[in-house]
Structure 1
């Protein structure tokens, strides 16, 4: 599952990998590209977390729409669980999505539509995620064996030294993208500041940028995620307005069954309803 949550990670020695290459004329990297991606993807993010995010969708004409959601995350030995529950606007209130990480296989993903009063399995990870510029694949964790890796260069991004690494999709990946280019901080945090997405023709089709990074204990969480789709001129901005880490989230609250419950029944942690009310106070639909 691809996560928006970000944490620090300590450096450790790496081994050379057969599918990691360095372009001609480039300086050999201090770390192997696959190892850097693996650390970035598997960075610890706490045992659990709860976030409140406001999402702004902007079309090519500059027309904006806002959405609000709660994001519950729970780490598990079998695989991480993530539940997103929308509370704003009224037209999508109580829609929910759920991602269950499956080790060495495709994640299981579900969508709950309150109008139909049922949960359904998401049939394709290429589908758009609730009308945004993200797709369900963007919520999944990268399966490392479905990609090959190439170290491009060491560069600077937002004032930080970064490893620039290309991940090229193997046919087994069934990915919507032919290549992803990662910009991962070289300061030991393995924070992915930026990801560029390319199609099979080598055209840049989408870009994700993460900024305004803040520490919560030893955890680093970005406050702002910007997603640009260059094919249609659309943009999605996710602003994390509230987050708590390691709150002791019960497993029952991050489940398919929980998807079907009304937002009013999301009462953990205790102040979550106050957070939702404050976020929507004064907003006009």
Structure 2
């Protein structure tokens, strides 16, 4: 299917009554490594629609474009730019996931016309008012967690393995644990529950709503991320996805983040 590009980890949260299943830590780690390594092209360009849903208020709609490239040895770069509406247009985020599992992020705010680095202690901060945390936009390597299979469940009409993932170093994440529903045959995630306060009640839940094969790569076309406490929801819908365009390294720089004209040349 061609070279692989690490897919950033998605997010979510929920209560779980696990089915009886033997616990095999090695099998769980292998499955999560397959999810991490699932083929998704040398690079990807995606235009999307983001809807922020809040009870009693009209939906806030945003348009954005994102670029991602695999640099080899587990390193990946990602650039996100908001295009609409006017009050957020131009805002961008650059994430550099390094081979050793560390990450650096920079945010560009047009009204201030400056790039600032996102401090590691802001990993739980919300990204431009959505239910996404800055941490959620970073690639998390499977070795950063201890994994175990805890059951099976049907999601979207698909039988999934349920994997519990607990951080090796609790200080480097806002989540106490994650529960991930994985379609083993495709190594594709259908749901993720994220636990922040305790190990019983999840705080967020990400759910796959629709998917499609584009250029031979399975692509998440629609997803929902819900704050289970407030009910606030972030919906993402892919309008166009392009793979293997040979995106250049200069696109994933602070200069390109600050200068929209550099990035605009690569929009679909």
Of the three residues 196, 200, 205, the one matched with 1:199 is 196
Q: Using the alignment, how far apart are the partners of 2:36 and 2:128 within structure 1?
A: 24
1:243 to 224, 241, 244: 241
Given that residues 7 and 40 in structure 2 are in contact (C-alpha distance below 8 angstroms), is that contact kept between their aligned partners in structure 1?
no
Partner residue of 1:113 out of 102, 109, 123:
109
How many residues end up aligned between the 2 structures? 252
Alignment partners' CA distance in 2, 1:214 and 1:30 = 31
Return the index of the structure with the highest Cα Rg.
Answer: 1
Closer/same/farther in 2, CA of residues 3 and 264 from structure 1, 3 Å limit? same
- Alpha carbons of structure 1 residues 43 and 24: separation in structure 2 relative to 1, 3 Å: closer
TM-score (norm 2): 0.87
Is residue 150–residue 166 contact of structure 1 (8 Å, CA) maintained in 2?
A: yes
Question: Which residue, 138, 143, 160 being the options, matches 1:162?
Answer: 160
Q: Is the 8 A contact 2:8 2:140 kept in 1?
A: no
Q: Cα distance, 1:25 vs. partner? A: 4.6
Q: CA offset at residue 27 of structure 1?
A: 3.9
Alignment counterpart, residue 3 of structure 1, candidates 5, 8, 26 = 8
Match of 2:258 among 252, 257, 260: 260
Offset from partner CA, 1:246-266 (integer Å, 9 cap, x none): 112122122221111226861
The offset of 1:53, in angstroms, is 0.4
From 213, 216, 237, the counterpart of 2:211: 213
Q: What TM-score does the superposition give when structure 1 sets the normalisation length?
A: 0.82
Structure 1 unaligned regions, length at least 5? 6-22, 273-285
Partner of 1:103: 99
How far does residue 239 in structure 1 lie from its aligned partner after superposition? 0.5
The residue aligned with 2:3 is none
2:41 to 46, 57, 60: 46
> C-alpha deviations, 1:36-74, integer Å up to 9, x for none?
111101222111111100100011324310111100111
Change (3 A) 1:88 1:31: same
State how far apart, in whole Å, the 2-side matches of 1:247 and 1:182 are. 31
Corresponding residue for residue 231 of structure 1:
229
Matched, 1:75 2:59: no
Q: Is the 8 A contact 1:146 1:173 kept in 2?
A: no
Q: Distance in 1 between matches of 2:222 and 2:237?
A: 5
What residue in structure 2 maps to residue 84 of structure 1?
Answer: 80
Q: Show the counterpart of 2:90.
A: 94
Pairwise CA distance, 1:4: 6.7
Mapped partners of 2:184, 2:43: distance in 1: 26
- Give the match for residue 65 of structure 1: 60
**Structure 2 residue ranges without an equivalent (≥5):** 1-5, 11-17
Please tell me whether the aligned partners of residues 170 and 176 of structure 2 are also in contact (alpha carbons under 8 angstroms): no
Alignment CA distance shift 1:265-1:82 (3 Å): closer
